[in-house]
Structure 1
C-alpha cells in the first residue's frame, strides 16, 4: 500500500443504496480515502460509519444545498481534513428529477433542476479540476492505488437515458442531463491534454435501489438481473474507467441491463 492514500470524492449518495454509495464502497475497498458529499446528513453519516467500521477511511461532508458556494466549501473542508492525500477520483452523481407534462412543471422545479443538474455540476467539476491540475503524474509512491501512471485524475459524471433522448415528461430533467453531457465532453477535450480523464456514463434503465424496490413491489424484477441495473456493477465500471490507461480512454460509456428496450 502506498504511504499516502489517494482521495476519492463523490457527490450524491441518496439513501445509501444506489450508485453513489456503491461506488464509495468499492473505492474504499480499493484503498482510497472517501469523501462523501450529499444533502441527506442521516444517510451520509450512516454510510461513513459503515465504511469506517469496515476498515476504510471515510468522512461525511453534508450540504444544505448544491449551490456553488456550498460545494466550494465542502472541497475546502475535504482539503483541510486530508491535506496530504491527493484527489485522484471525483464522481458527480447528484441529480434532481421531475417527470411531468411540460405545462404542469413549475418554475421552482425548473430552477431546482438547473441548479442541481447544471450549476452544481459546473461547481463540482471546477473544484475537482483545480485539484487535479495541481498534481504531478502518478508515481508508485504518490497514492496511485489504481490507475494509469500517465493520469493526474479522473472525473466521472453520472448521466441517464435523458442525457441523449428527451421524452414526453422529461423536458426539465433532460435539459439538465443534456447539459451535463455537453459539459463532460467539453471538459474531456480540454483537460485530456493535461492527462486528466473526464468521462460520462449513461445509465439507461432502472437501478436496483431501496426506493425502486418499494415503488415497483415486484419481486421478479428485483430477482432478475437481466431487467435492472445493479449499482455495484455500475461501480465496477467506474473503477474500470479510472484504471484505463492513457492510450485508450473512454469519454462516454452507456450501461443497461441485458433485456432493456433501447
Structure 2
C-alpha cells in the first residue's frame, strides 16, 4: 500500500509501479481518483495487480477504511503524503501551520498506527516514510514544513524502536532536493535545463526497494538520497 500517489511521473506513482514488479498487490491511495485510476490501470496492463482508494491522510476514519480495504496481510506500507509549505513565521497564520503538521506528521501517525495494528499480529511487515532535508534541519521560510517533517522523522524512529523487536521494519527516506517529475516541470518550464540538479525518480525508488529487501539481522532505519551536485 502506498499513500501520497499523484501524477504518473511522480514518486508515489513510480513506487507503486516498482513494487508491483516485485509481485506485490498494490493499493494506490491519494486524493484524486482520476490520477489513482491511471496508475492502477497501467499496472494492470503490465500484468500486475492494483486497485485505487481515495483517502484523506488527516481523517482517522478514512485511513482506517483504507487499511480495511487493503486487508489484514499488508506487507509494505509507504507514507509519501505531504506538500512543501513555505512561509515566514510572522506572516503565517495558525491554520497554515496546523495544516502542514496534519498533512505530514499527524497523517503519518494515523497511517503508521493502522499499519502497525495489522502487521504486529503477523509479526512482520515494512513501513516506510518519505522525508526531506527539512527532516534534519530548519530553514528560513519553511518553519511549518521543517517542524512537520522533523516530527514525522522522530515519530518514525519511535515506531522503529517500539516495534522492531516485534518484527516490524520501519524506515525513513530523506529525499534531499527537487524530484525530476511532473510537479517540478509544471512549475518550472525550464527544469530540463538543470536536470543535473534534479533527483532521478527511478534512483529514489530503488532506495525504498533496498530498505524493503533488507535482512532482519541487518536493518537500516534511514537512507538519504541526493544528486551528486547537491550541497549538503
TM, length-normalised to structure 1: 0.84
- Taking the TM superposition and a 5 Å limit, the aligned residue runs for 1:20-31 are 20-31=12-23
Residue in 2 that maps onto 1:198: 170
- Taking the TM superposition and a 5 Å limit, the aligned residue runs for 1:108-257 are 108-136=95-123, 152-218=124-190, 219-222=192-195, 224=196, 227-257=197-227
1:67, CA displacement in angstroms?
1.3
1:40-69 CA distances to partner (integer Å, 9 max, x unpaired)?
111111111111111111000112563122
- Taking the TM superposition and a 5 Å limit, the aligned residue runs for 1:11-160 are 11-64=3-56, 66-79=58-71, 86-136=73-123, 152-160=124-132
**Secondary structure at the residue paired with 1:156?**
strand
1:198-252 CA distances to partner (integer Å, 9 max, x unpaired)?
0111111111111212323222223x3xx22112111111111011102211111
Structural RMSD (CA): 1.4
Comparing both chains, which one has the higher relative contact order based on Cα–Cα distances under 8 Å and sequence gaps of 6 or more? 1
1:64-85 CA distances to partner (integer Å, 9 max, x unpaired)?
5631221011111222xxx6xx
Between the aligned partners of 1:132 and 1:247, the Cα distance in structure 2 is 18
Residue pair 1:67, 1:119 contacting (<8 A) in 2 also:
no
Any stretches of 5+ residues in structure 2 without a counterpart?
none
Residue in 2 that maps onto 1:144: none
Greater radius of gyration (CA): 1
TM, length-normalised to structure 2: 0.95
**Secondary structure at the residue paired with 1:119?**
helix
Tell me which protein shows more helix as a share of its residues.
2
Any stretches of 5+ residues in structure 1 without a counterpart?
1-8, 137-151
